[in-house]
Chain A
Amino acid sequence: MSGFDIAAALVKVLLVFGVTMLTIMLMTLAERRVSAFMQYRLGPNRVGFGGLLQPLADGLKFLLKEDIIPTQANRPIYLLAPVIVMVPALMTMAVIPFGAPLQIGEHLVPLQVADLNIGVLYILALTSVGVYGLVLAGWGSGSKYPLLGGLRASAQLISYELAMGLSIIGVVMLTGGLTFGEIIAYQQETGWNIWKQPLAALIFLIAIFAETNRLPFDLTEAEQELVGGYHTEYSSLKFAMFYLSEYANMITASAFMVSLFFGGWDVPFVDELAMGGWGVALSVLAFVVKVGFFLFLYIWVRWTFPRFRYDQLMRLGWKVLLPLALVNVVLTGFWLVWRAGA
């Protein structure tokens, strides 16, 4: 590994981390503003231009709040849980390619922090680790409502991870590889996967809503039933960590969705690789726009649909999405065999 590679990797790490944190901040604002607009309100628009500095004010508020540790809490677990949620949420962005490879001198720098050969599995694994944080937070708080929230998180995880994993299998079968580089290269050659795997895309979309605990599947924090779910007993910065990681997970899930089904940084009918610097800029822009759309979709869905009941969620996960995902895998298999024979 040369000095250049290390420098490039460092720059990319800082860039991805910084942009992710910035996007989280913007998302907390966008959530409030968009929800307000949908309800004929204006939302926070006083701090900075159009309320742009509101997230900073919110962050400052979190910093200055009293940090309470309940006496009934299991201290080590209680303190560890927000970290377990936060760290994987920020780690997952590492394998997402956010632009076409950039040519600097004689070096070709892929715009991706790490091109793991099991990139897809890496994300699936880390997002599941994040759920452990929720369960531990629920259990470690020593309070009944967080415990219920944690239990729901684990039940939800099992019922959705299966369908989610199976919906990805269709894409992996088409591509024949688990790295994001291969998946995106395949989509560049033959068109986006959404056209070939629409059912898988739909199942995946529904599953990531459940995965990130967003409405209509936010049963783990259903405030009307569970006060606030797993983060009821958390305050100050520890609560902020849960809050931030929820948005970090949304960003990762959107980027995951875009990479798997919407061509990643690919712009249709344009050869970014042949266009040099402008092609790279265009590809990054395309990626940002696509991810931005899905982030907006998250907010949009949240303020449109009511929460699922617990049994409805289970039924949807086990009796609808899982069989559909299996059917999709089988159909994809038949299609591949048929195409190989033809």
Chain B
Amino acid sequence: MATVQRTYEPQFSDRFYLPAVVRGLWMTFVRIFRRKDTIPYPDRKYVPADGYRGLQRLNKDAEGRIKCVACEMCQTACPAHCITIVPSPAPWDEGEERYPVQFDIDLLRCIFCGFCELACPKEAIELTEIYDYASYTRDDLIINMEGLLKVYDVTSQGNIYKRQNEGESITIDTGKL
């Protein structure tokens, strides 16, 4: 048989309950005036911490060319099989010899594990802080190379939510994402 161990033996005065009731009421009343945790979303946005894993981007090098060499390491590392890469010889003379002609990420499949980022030997693919993208169709949520490069343009100057909260007008226009 189990025995109940009481750490506090109720006194006779506790059996009136009213002091406890008043204390409870006071507790909830004081909380009315505390600072609220709610972020009024479209007006102010939650700013994720550095290292947040959101929407991907494809980085550009100093000349504005895509850093990716289409080695397909990320495609191999991806546990969700959401990356599709079609490589091709690079059109430029100097620099890398390969580049992708197609680089699609199926965002509905992506689990935002960040393995692509880790696998990449060129630091070409990165996960950004962007969390609020949504769409009405599945097709819209397959982001292509053009879109990923546009995400780089938007996010390369610092956390976009911090900038939006400071009043800067930024729209994530990645076309068909």
Contacts and interface: CB of A to CB of B under 8 A. Distances in A.
Does A associate with B in a complex? yes
Contacts of B38: 36, 40-42
Nearest to B29: A300
A305 interface: yes
B32 A34 contact: yes
Contacts of A303: 28
B64 to A, nearest CB: 42
B25 A301 contact: yes
B36 A42 contact: yes
A40 B31 CA distance: 7
B26 to A, nearest CB: 9
Nearest to B35: A40
A65 to B, nearest CB: 25
Interface residues of B, number: 14
A301 B21 CA distance: 9
B173 interface: no
Contacts of B40: 42, 45
B37 interface: yes
Q: How large is the interface on A (under 10, 10 to 19, 20 to 34, 35 or more residues)?
A: 10 to 19
Given A42-B36, A42-B38, A37 B24 contact: no
Interface string B16-45: 000001001101110110111110100000
A301 B36 CA distance: 20
A40 B24 CA distance: 16
Contacts of B37: 40-41
A289 interface: no
A301 B31 CA distance: 14
A41 B35 CA distance: 9
Contact of A304 (B25, B34, B35): B25
Interface of A: 34, 36-42, 45, 300-301, 303-305
Listed from nearest, the 7 A-B pairs whose CB atoms lie closest are A42-B38, A37-B32, A304-B28, A40-B37, A38-B28, A304-B24, A41-B38
Interface of B: 21, 24-25, 27-29, 31-32, 34-38, 40
Given A40-B36, A304-B24, 16 more contacts: A36-B38, A37-B32, A38-B32, A39-B31, A40-B34, A40-B35, A41-B36, A41-B37, A42-B36, A42-B38, A45-B40, A300-B25, A300-B28, A304-B25, A304-B28, A305-B24
